[in-house]
Each structure stands twice: as C-alpha cells, then as structure tokens.
Amino acid sequence: MLVLSDCPERLAGLVPGGTGSDARVDSLPASDRALWRALGAGDRPWRGTGPEPGPPGYWSRALVVAEARASQFDVLRERLAAGLELPGPTACVALSGRGFHGQRNRAWLSEPGNLHLCAAFPEPGFPARDAGSLTMLPAVALVEAVCAMTGGRLRPGIKWVNDVLLDGRKIGGVLTATQTQGDRVRSVLVGIGLNVSTTPPVPPTPFVPTVGSLAEAGSRVTWADACAGVLAALGRWMTRIASAGPAALLDAYRDASLVIGREVCVFEESADGHSAGTRLSPLHRGNVRGIAPDLALILEGAETPVASGRLAFAEDCSRFGL
C-alpha cells in the first residue's frame, strides 16, 4: 500500500517498518498528485509503502494528514463527482481537522487520538440496484472492527440508522455516498468517525444522551490500530459484496441492531434536540419488530414501515420530557 503523508513521524503504528522519503508533488503520478492537492498540505509529501490491512493487495493508497482543512468526506465527494480518478481503493485519514460532520451536517468534534477516516472505492463492480444497501457498510464494518480489535471484549451495536453505540454511549458515526451511472455503481465513499482515545464534550439530547470512547471503556487501542482494523473490515466486506451480493451485509446489520425489540420514537430528520423552546413531537412511536431490506423500521401497529427520520429510544424521550 502506498502512503502519502505530511506527518510521517506519526505513522509508526499504522506503517510499521514502512520505508519512504520526501517527494515533490509534481513528481507524483497524476492520480496521486490530484489526491494530494485536494487533501494534503505542503509541496513535499512523504511517500512510502507499508503493510496492507485487510485482503492482500486490496488497498491501493492511504493519505494521512496531521490536520484536515475541511471535511475530507465532502472534498472527496466533490472531486469524485468532478472526475477525480483513483488507481484503486483509497483511504484518507486526518489526525485532526475542521468541518467534520455527520448526517445533515451535524457537527462531529475532532479530538486528539480519535479516528477520522474516509475511504473511496472507485468502480467497485456493483450493480446499481445494490447502491442502497451500501449505506449499511461503514456501520457494520466499524462494529466488526471494534469487536476484532478488542478480542470480543467490547461489542458495540448500531442505533438506526448509522450511530454506533457501546454500552448505551455513542462512540461512532458513519456516512455513505454512492455515484451510479446506468446500471452500475461508479464509486462508493464512506466516512467513519470513532472516539478512540478521547470522549468529546457533547451536550446531551434525546438522540445522543451520552457519548463515550474505547479508552473510556478500558481499551488500549490506538488510532492507528483502529484505522488498520476498520480498513481491514471494509476491505473484507467490499470483497464479499462484490462476489456474493449484499445479503450478508443486511444480516450483519440486523444482528448488530440495538433497536429491534425496543420501543422507539421517530422524529423528523431535522430534529436536533438543542433548540431552546422547541417542543419535539414524534412522528411515530412503537416497538420495533424488524428492519426491512431497505432499512425501513417495521413497527408494531404501523401500517407501513418507517423509511426515514431521527430515532430516540423511548426511555430517553421520557428522560427529556418528550
């Protein structure tokens, strides 16, 4: 795996025994030059190689920067839409940065020692009909990675649609974007934030009443360990989906679900729980009987599945007087 970075001194955990040297940007191949100019800093990036996480030969590139000037997810999405060509699956990691966000641009705080990762998969070989299923990919991969990294001691789950919780505390969030052309998926882009070493100060709401981190749960996993573990899980799942389709991904999502069998309230997507004087009223309330293939919630007593909205557990709604 080729690695580009402006902070090679901090790569020891991710690229053990890696070899490389500084290189001028204009000496890089066109695709690497475009990637660095979009997301890197400075005109002499360190360029080297290191062992690959995941399936052998799967990951093509990793770009690691000390500080991202803006959301790497947003920049990559814009550049891919504008025709950025990548030589293969590419990971982009920021040790810190600005402009990180989750769904509907809700702020994601950058904290020291945490993981801020984007991964782009050009021409993954999927039919366009599978594009919707890929929204499950990063959450499932993140849950699997945390379990594997901690030897099964920590077992997070998924709160619909894309929050990852550990013992009731939010430790991670994910984003997905796909581009399709005709009957095929042209590219897949995922964003993953994981609180590894630091628990960020997040005001409580019914939707995120508490936050946590792996360190707070007693884990000694580092951001580099987490990065390698998540990339390995993503690579395994992408390879599996390409060969057998997304059915197993849905099974894994359901197995990791924290909402099946629990009473929940579903609010409008725009609900944030922070607006003073705003009275939130759920659009739906009930026990979750299951999750449909399109990830819609199947609620007891509801005539149709709930396809969108922002979910809170009923007990958290009661705590906040909703």
Q: pLDDT digits over 7-48, tens only?
A: 999 998 888 766 789 999 999 999 999 999 999 989 999 999
With a threshold of 0.75, does the pTM exceed it? yes
Helix (H, G, I), strand (E, B) or coil at 322: coil
Which of 233, 256, 279 terminates a domain? The answer is 256
Q: Give every CB contact of residue 85 below 8 A, 6+ residues apart in sequence.
A: 30, 31, 34, 122
Same domain, 273 and 222: no
pLDDT in tens, 301-322: 888 999 999 999 999 999 998 8
Q: What is the residue-averaged pLDDT of the chain?
A: 94
pLDDT in tens, 209-264: 999 999 999 999 999 999 999 999 999 999 999 999 999 999 999 999 999 999 99
Vertex 45: Cα angle to 39 and 48 (nearest 5): 110
Tokens of 288: 């979750």
Instruction: Measure CA 284 to chain center.
Output: 27
Same domain, 280 and 235: no
Q: Is the pLDDT of residue 151 over 70?
A: yes
Same domain, 171 and 277: no
Same domain, 210 and 298: no
Which of 203, 228, 256 terminates a domain? The answer is 256
| Structural domains counted in the chain | 2
Same domain, 273 and 220: no
Helix (H, G, I), strand (E, B) or coil at 194: strand
Same domain, 210 and 127: yes
User: Alpha-carbon distance 301 to 287, whole Å?
Assistant: 9
The strand pairing partners of 45, in sequence order, are none
Same domain, 192 and 309: no
Q: Is the pLDDT of residue 176 over 80?
A: yes
Domain that holds residue 298: 263-319
Asked if 250 and 130 touch (Cβ cutoff 8 Å), the reply is no
Asked if 267 and 280 touch (Cβ cutoff 8 Å), the reply is yes
Tokens of 49: 């190689």
Same domain, 204 and 280: no
User: Alpha-carbon distance 298 to 290, whole Å?
Assistant: 5
E strands present in the chain: 2-5, 19-22, 46-49, 61-65, 90-94, 115-122, 157-159, 163-166, 169-181, 184-194, 263-267, 284-291, 297-299, 310-313
Question: Which amino acid, one-letter code, is at 114?
Answer: N
Which of 206, 223, 256 terminates a domain? The answer is 256
